[in-house]
A = this chain, B = another copy of it.
Amino acid sequence: MSGDGGAEVTVPASLNVLRKDRDIQLLLVGGVEKIEQLLGNYSDVADRLEIQAASEIVEMDEPPALALKKKKDSSMRVAIDMVKAGRAQAAVSAGNTGALMATSRFVLKMIPGLDRPAICGELPTLSGHVRMLDLGANVDSGPDMLRQFAIMGSVLAAEVDDINEPSIGLLNIGAEDIKGSEVVKQASSLIAATGLNYKGYIEADDIYSGRVDVIVADGFSGNISLKTSEGVVKFIMGVMREEFSRNLITRFVALIALPIMKAAGKRMDPRRYNGASLLGLRGTVVKSHGGADVMAFEYAIIEAAKEAKMSVSERISAAIEQQMESVGENST
Contacts and interface: CB of A to CB of B under 8 A. Distances in A.
Contacts of A63: 178
A117 interface: no
A177 B176 CA distance: 36
A240 B261 CA distance: 8
A174 to B, nearest CB: 8
A179 B230 contact: no
B126 A238 contact: yes
A124 interface: yes
A136 interface: yes
Contacts of A217: 224
Contacts of A197: none
Interface in A238-293: 238-240, 242-244, 246, 250, 253-254, 256-257, 260-261, 263-264, 267-268
Given A220-B221, A257-B257, A231 B208 contact: yes
A55 interface: no
B243 A253 contact: no
Which has the most chain B C-beta neighbours within 10 Å: A244, A264, A268?
A: A264
A173 interface: yes
Contacts of A164: none
Q: Tell which of A63, A171, A207, A232 has the most Cβ of chain B within 10 Å.
A: A232
A21 interface: no
Interface stretch (A86-94, A107-115, A198-206, A295-303): A198-206
A183 to B, nearest CB: 9
Contacts of A208: 231-232, 234-235
Interface of A: 61, 63, 124-126, 136, 139-140, 171, 173-174, 176, 178-182, 203-209, 217, 219-221, 223-236, 238-240, 242-244, 246, 250, 253-254, 256-257, 260-261, 263-264, 267-268
22 contacts: A63-B178, A126-B238, A126-B242, A139-B182, A173-B224, A204-B224, A204-B226, A205-B230, A205-B231, A206-B231, A207-B228, A207-B231, A221-B224, A224-B225, A224-B228, A228-B228, A236-B268, A243-B267, A244-B264, A246-B263, A253-B256, A253-B257
